[in-house]
A and B are shown apart, each in its own frame.
Chain A
């Protein structure tokens, strides 16, 4: 198999809380991104700060967080604060899942780049991760 192994591949971290067992959505996104030639790291975080520690070690270009129960705004704000503390405030954040209308303004205010509230075509989701990744890596 002649896979070109020197092309930089988008690296993405997809994550959800370890107490949230709804993993169908995140698995579906992971497979779609894999099929779009991205390298996808999966973790279930225990603390919001874990997400940033892992993102740094894995040198990812985008973080995607799935919420299927609670904590949408509070968790996201903690992750944004930790990104700033670790001096990677420009690492883009995407949020998806059960996002209620009143969650949207504070998520946008926190600097989330894209919010997928369900029903978005998968092609749009993939294109968003691709675009954010290329911009962050400086290839745009």
Chain B
């Protein structure tokens, strides 16, 4: 069938993605998401290489209008950033593992724009509002020539702080009239916000909500740069000001910590090796691996013997032993 879908290695995936061809970028993302050996190698090859690419995290409760806000901001961002990547994360079903990814319904206006690359990601059981591999996917988009990458989180609230470690500037989007739910947000997500955005400013409760948020900001100590802004994606009120404010925050945003920063290099290496070894065991066509699996299943060897034997087999496997895809 489609030979193109059979496993190019990580280096080949990267070369293709760097041509900017959207299908090549998309297939590289799939490999990273599925954590194939090639996808893991690719993630390692682009790690931390974001160059001048700016990154923006957008989080906030369901229905706050995150997708619509991103859609509305694209027009204000494109003059400054010629190529924009958008990653939008939706939850996976805890029952089936499947997902309905509907965020880009709100971004239809940009479907045909070759300068805007949008990819829907399923959380696949990962908590924290993003996916396990989102960092690597951002790095890939930067390597593929994106000037700006936006990450939209799942949108379930309190625990969605992981995006803070992935992006330069963080927006927390709220809608008017959430009342007591606002209290829940205050405890977690608001703390990572560089800018608070009250969307749907066309609604009557917007003034009250923004007043509450500004009072809360004062409580936390005065910081000129941490502001609350009112916008409406319907009337476009405040959108240009928000784009300006985001730009201003980039100027003084520290770069996001590199993956595993703080962890010892050896610890980080151990995690990378574990990931890669696991993928190689899953994909290996080496008959020795098959024999080890058979012996383990039959109870002929112990799990520790099997693990050691598999590591030995991987250690002297030639690349040809790795099955494509």
Q: Which residues of A contact B (CB under 8 A)?
A: 1-9, 11, 18, 30-31, 33-47, 49-50, 53-54, 56-59, 86, 88, 90, 135-140
Taking a contact as CB atoms under 8 Å apart, the answer to whether A46 and B98 are in contact is: no
Taking a contact as CB atoms under 8 Å apart, the answer to whether B108 and A34 are in contact is: no
Taking a contact as CB atoms under 8 Å apart, the answer to whether A138 and B5 are in contact is: yes
Q: Report A22 CB to chain B, min CB distance, Å.
A: 15
Taking a contact as CB atoms under 8 Å apart, the answer to whether B26 and A58 are in contact is: yes
Residues of B within 8 A of A7 (CB): 34, 97
Question: Which chain B residues (108-122) contact chain A, with CB distance < 8 Å?
Answer: 108-109, 111-112, 114, 117-120, 122
Taking a contact as CB atoms under 8 Å apart, the answer to whether A5 and B35 are in contact is: yes
Partner of B22, one of A9, A56, A135: A56
- How extensive is the interface on chain B, given as a class? 35 or more
Residues of B within 8 A of A138 (CB): 1-2, 5-6, 325
Partner of B282, one of A6, A34, A54, A135: A6
Taking a contact as CB atoms under 8 Å apart, the answer to whether A6 and B34 are in contact is: yes
Asked whether A3 and B125 contact (CB < 8 A) given A135-B1, A138-B325, the answer is: yes
Question: Which chain B residues (135-190) contact chain A, with CB distance < 8 Å?
Answer: none
4 further interface pairs, Cβ-Cβ under 8 Å (given A7-B34, A8-B34, A46-B112):
A8-B30, A39-B92, A42-B105, A57-B117
Taking a contact as CB atoms under 8 Å apart, the answer to whether B126 and A5 are in contact is: yes
The listed residue with most A CB atoms (<10 A of its CB), out of B29, B104, B109, is: B104
Q: Report A37 CB to chain B, min CB distance, Å.
A: 5
Taking a contact as CB atoms under 8 Å apart, the answer to whether A35 and B119 are in contact is: no
Asked whether A46 and B23 contact (CB < 8 A) given A5-B35, A138-B1, A138-B6, the answer is: no
Partner of B99, one of A8, A34, A45, A136: A34
Taking a contact as CB atoms under 8 Å apart, the answer to whether B120 and A58 are in contact is: yes
Partner of A35, one of B93, B122, B124, B126: B93
Partner of B23, one of A6, A44, A88, A135: A88
With both beta carbons as reference points, the residue of chain A lying nearest to B279 in the complex is identified as A6
Taking a contact as CB atoms under 8 Å apart, the answer to whether B100 and A30 are in contact is: yes
Residues of B within 8 A of A36 (CB): 96, 98
Taking a contact as CB atoms under 8 Å apart, the answer to whether B5 and A40 are in contact is: no
